Amino acid sequence: MDERRPVTAAPAATETLSREAIARIDLSGQLDDVLALPEHLRDALWRVESAIMGESDTPAGLVVAGMGGSAIGGALARAALGDHASRPIFVTRAYGLPPWTTPETTVLCASYSGNTEETLACYESAGALGAKRVVVTTGGRLASMAREDNVPVIPLPGGFQPRAAVAYMTVAALEVAALCGAGPRLTSEIDVAASHTEQLVAEWGPDAPEDSLAKQIARGLSGSAAVIAGAGLTAPIAYRWKTQINENAKLPAFFHELPELDHNELEGWDGAQGVGRFSAVFLDDSDAHPRVKERMELTERLIAGNAMSCFRLETRGQTTIERVISLVLLGDLVSIYMAVLRGVDPGPVALIEQLKADLAAG
């Protein structure tokens, strides 16, 4: 006898995902920031150029130090460079730098607010080591310290939630990677990617039909804990999906990476229905290794019976930048739509703010 509970979706707070319906719930205007992603890509290029940084060859590579939405740009940049990266590019989400950091390393300290304590600690550590430093921020203590030390500052526009500055952080990491010799300049590719993203905004945005891809996915994931899987290029995008669902939809979400997923997590799906509602999203890439693509297809088939819903999605575009940004945009839209379906304003992050206040109180 099968004692597993039937899996059903939670009731939606709204039946439509029109621009008007979203505006009634998205009081902080997070959707507008997502739709402005193409403009952010172009503006980011200008802001990097305005920092007046010279090339600085650092054979030990690039470390991007940041947390949350400020760190994801480094991971996405590393994925976009792929085989074109000529030196190590590492993202650290901690109070310290990797132990192998030397004066021949460039350290990009990324903090939207400029007051992220972990990133401030990394900035000071990089200075003590004599590493080349660059800062990307809106201001705060990080900008003040950098200007006192004559460290280049890439200025960011204010008024966003840090997670909405993903284009700025990604472009900053790509451009700094080029300046320190870790990869080629991708300026023209970024500009083309902005135009490509404009087309996807029209296809997946709030003015698209109710059966458009992003809206379908949001409804399919609604009422469940989403488990996002990526591979290679899409691994950091899968992490971005997870964190966007966490912060925007205020829901648990998880991520993993293929092929490692097939050596452990796959078995866990056998008991999924007995402990809750889980959905699966597989982020594929048009240029993925053939065996990874085969694994993704087989894995989806094996877990489908225990998942509330399953989606396998592929990157769109010709260049790696276009392909990365395509699924970043899709995930950001899905997370906003999921928030609206729950009747939750995606902007505020009350628990995170409470944690910061508690930490500050000692």
CB atoms within 10 A of CB 133: 23
Amino acid at 71: A
Quote the radius of gyration of the chain (alpha carbons, Å): 20
DSSP state of 9: P
Identify the active-site residue in 189, 198, 203, 356.
Answer: 356
Known catalytic residue at 263 = yes
Distance CA 269, CA 253 (A): 15
Identify the active-site residue in 3, 20, 148, 263.
Answer: 263
User: Tokens representing 213?
Assistant: 């891809």
Q: ∠164-73-228 over CA atoms, to 5°?
A: 80
Known catalytic residue at 247 = yes
Identify the active-site residue in 118, 175, 247, 322.
Answer: 247
Residue 56 has phi, psi (to 5 degrees) of -145, 100
Beta strands 106-111 and 132-137, pairing class:
parallel
Q: ∠254-230-175 over CA atoms, to 5°?
A: 105
Q: What is the largest CA-CA distance in the chain?
A: 71
Closest CA to 320 of 237, 219, 245, 202: 237
3-state secondary structure of 185: coil
Residues with a known catalytic role:
247, 263, 356
